[in-house]
Structure 1
Amino acid sequence: MSSDRETGREQRIVIVGGGTGGTVVANKLATELREELDAGDVDLTLVTDSPDHVYKPIFLYVAFNRKDVADSRRPNRELLDQRVDLRIDRVVDVDTDARRLAFEGENEALSYDHLVVATGTTLVPETIDGLTDGGHHFYSAAGAERLRDELAEFTSGHLVVSTIGMPHMCPAAPIEFPLIADEWLQKRGCRDDIDITYTYPLERAHGLESVADWVTPLFEERGIGLETSFEVEAVDPDRQTVATTDGRTLEYDLLVTIPPHAGSDLASRADLGDEWIEVDRHTLEATRADDVYAIGDITDVPTSKAGSAAHYQAGVVADRIASEVRGHPPTARYDGKTLCFVETGLEKATFVSFGYDEQPVVRPPSRFVHWAKLAYNESYWLTARGLL
């Protein structure tokens, strides 16, 4: 079969989603296919429903009044290579047979030859009875700001940090929050008047066994209570209690949660998966459609929903699509590589890296790694541009 390159027909690459994965893959493709784009042989478009790119890990620091929401945003156009067309619109369906995207309202459809879906995940706290009114979180800009205001007034009582949603974005964040809160409250002089309890729905403190083995004694050392196998069924905002599926009840004065997450209904409408897009875990090709890739949080790959995973996946997909555009067999593969920084307080951090067949090794926390994480937060915008 002759390729589009051989027949002289322009190939259209469309990326849906303007987060880490979508932005990085767009910029990497713009670099790898520079000659084809300049010659008019390839058209490269990124579609996103917001003019701004949001770096969500900043929200953790917003909650403790150490960053502002404005620090998490940059205009998408500033981050994208000029060869990438930017379309601000909302995709409502994908016809994978006709290779066409449908948009809200009467907006013109868009065809594609190669499609990358990187729409991320959404928060659905409303799926837990009482959670919307009874709990706080730092997984959105508005949520982080509300939590910041609550923490500023919180000087005594029971702080419960509960992981309710699994899977969820940023696998380190649930354990980072109580560890940072411990030191932050000490500096404010009210830690002795505040009990902290951390809950997790599995039989250990974290989904990764080595991380759980490391953090459990650290929680004990820091006076942070731990409740495992804690599957939240409902929250009672009036009584300020959290109830589990096995009948346990925990009282709180301030409830901070990792709320339930959901994939995109676009996945089911396009028959790419029931909720998460089903992909080959190494090639990231959709298993239900041809010439469709998915990366980042929207996929069903068996690794963490972390920005670093989306970054590494973006490199693999960019390489594979560039090969396909040129009529070459794609060979790049994703091995599950993920890297996460973990704050252990206000001035120290560690990091873990792992893959599909590799458990993370937790290194001793240090000031150096803490400052490295802060430096990465500042340099993230270079990463989004595909420069790191």
Structure 2
Amino acid sequence: MLGGGTAGTMVVNKLRRRLPVSEWEITVVDRDDEQRYQPGYLFLPFGTYSADMVGRKRHTLIPDGVEMVLAEIDRVEAEADTVHLEDGRALPYDYLVIATGTTPRPDQTPGMLGEQWRRSVFDFYTFEGARALAHALPAFDHGRLVVHITEMPIKCPVAPLEFAFLADSWLRKRGVRDRVELVYVTPLSEAFTQPIAAQHLGAMLEERKILVEPDFMIERVDNDRKSIVSFDEREIPFDLLVTIPLNMGADFVARSGLGDELNYVSVDKGTLRSTAHANVFALGDASNIPASKAGSVAHFSVEVFVKNFLQLIDGKPMTGSFDGHANCFVESGHGKGLLIDFNYDTQPLPGRYPLPVVGPLGLLKETRANHLGKLAFRWVYWNVLLPGRPLPLPALMSMAGKVAPVDTPTTAASKE
């Protein structure tokens, strides 16, 4: 198992219970011993969470009977079934699972790591970035706050919207919202990737007087002028820039010849099996499946993978097929939130979740329950998901409780 993050930890906990220790060795490789609750990074800048609420030692979450190796990965030699580490060690395998996630790469955008980095240009997709922004944000009480997405795909595609909503709420509580111009800059043509959700979320941005700059493909950050510049030479000035840099998979994936141009492993979107090597799988954010790079996708896909893997090693066909199921809480500020639930083929729809009528969570509707659900998920993450305990939610998306608006296509492809 390459990567001991969300997907990797869930898999080894589930498989260690199912695979006899006398017959199976399981090894996890990761660069460090720090496990982070990444959805919590959103809350650090606003003081909702403290730093100690989003981190634990990785080894405390790995089960007995699993070897943990702390090292950087040099490359995978797939033809020889071997992982080479940067310290010179070689780890042979019968089956390999790549779950090394995706990482913000500000170095890929000219000027982003210039003299304004962590001074007036910040990210919150890293622990260090979120903490730096937490120190800088309280001093910001007037000017232009720009929330910017470099390029898709990114981890948790709703998080930039959440930051904009929370910033609006936070500034209003401080009584300085009328002194701050909030701008949301996206490479998309709308606020989100799916039409129905985009309509809802776009209306929320408009209601909060957050200006949207769509179709913005950044070429560089101009540190002298404190602006971001697009390839078509549009220029957006800022006093404080909160940016989501280009997200890329691990560099060793490229060195191993296993990835695309963004270092994501090419897999079958149903089985998560490598399209090039039958004994290699990629889970979570590390794969190129056309689904959100979100913790819920990791969770639901792991459920499918584990059942398939047990069939595979038993000499049987893999019968499970992951459908791209994702659900995400969307913080909207003022103690409320939304919930969206969708998959490869069906876009987010209004309704109730997880049960029809009863809910208790509303889909595409701002409620206090959704906000509380988002906060409660931190406990679920540490105590249920990572230990691989069952969660009473179906891995595949259900249409139960969802309501399709009249005369509106529900397929995710309807945007095209």
TM-score normalised by L of structure 2: 0.86
For 1:184, which of 159, 170, 190 is the aligned residue? 170
Alignment match of 1:249 (pick from 232, 235, 239): 235
Give the TM-score taking structure 1 as reference length: 0.92
User: Which of 310, 313, 322 is equivalent to 2:298?
Assistant: 310
**Segment of structure 1 superposing worse, 326-335 or 188-197:** 326-335
Cα distance in 1 for partners of 2:92, 2:227 equals 51
Q: Is the CA contact 1:337–1:354 (under 8 Å) kept in the aligned structure 2? A: yes
Bigger relative contact order (CA 8 A; separation at least 6) = 1
> 2:388 matched to which residue of 1?
386
Distance 2:130 2:246 in 1: 16
- Give the drift of 1:325: 2.4
Does the Cα contact within 8 Å between 1:127 and 1:260 map onto a contact in 2? Answer: yes
**Distance in 2 of aligned mates of 1:209 and 1:16:** 36
Q: CA deviation at 1:105?
A: 2.1
SS at match of 1:148: helix
Q: Which residue of 2 aligns with 1:131?
A: 112
Unaligned runs of at least 5 residues, structure 1:
1-14
Cα distance in 1 for residues equivalent to 2:23 and 2:316? 16
Give the counterpart letter for 2:250 in structure 1.
S
Quick one: percent identity of the two aligned structures?
37
User: 1:366 corresponds to which residue?
Assistant: 367
The answer for the alignment partner of 2:98 in structure 1 is 117
Contact 1:272 1:289 in 2 (8 A): no
Q: Which residue of 2 aligns with 1:46?
A: 28
Superposition deviation, residue 365 in structure 1: 0.9
CA–CA distance in structure 2, aligned partners of residues 240 and 268 of structure 1: 34
* Deviation sequence 1:261-284 (CA, Å, 0-9, x none): 112222222222232100000010
- 1:70 matched to which residue of 2? 52
Q: Distance in 1 between matches of 2:27 and 2:305?
A: 15
Name the residue aligned to 1:3. Answer: none
Q: Which amino acid in 1 is paired with 2:48?
A: R
Does the residue aligned with 2:122 lie in a helix, a strand or coil?
coil
* CA distance in structure 2 between the aligned counterparts of 1:385 and 1:64, rounded to whole angstroms: 29
Question: Which residue of 1 is the match for residue 189 of structure 2?
Answer: 203
Q: Whole-Å Cα distance in 1 between the matches of residues 51 and 282 of structure 2? A: 28
Letter of the structure 2 residue corresponding to residue 293 of structure 1: F
1:301 equivalent in alignment to 2:283: no
Query: Which residue in 2 is equivalent to 1:94?
Result: 76
* Paired residue type of 1:367: R
Report the alpha carbon displacement of residue 238 of structure 1 after superposing the two structures with TM: 2.0
How far apart in 2 are the matches of 1:74 and 1:65? 19
What does 1:194-343 align with in structure 2 at a 5 Å threshold? 194-274=180-260, 275-343=263-331
> 2-side partners of 1:166 and 1:214: how far apart?
20
Q: Which amino acid aligns with 1:61?
A: F
CA RMSD, Structure 1 to Structure 2 (Å): 1.3
Alignment of 1:98-109 (within 5 A): 98-106=80-88, 108-109=89-90
- The one-character-per-residue Cα deviations of 1:239-297 (angstroms, maximum 9, x if unpaired) are 11111111211111111111111122222222222321000000100011120000111
Misfit runs of 4+, over 3 Å: none
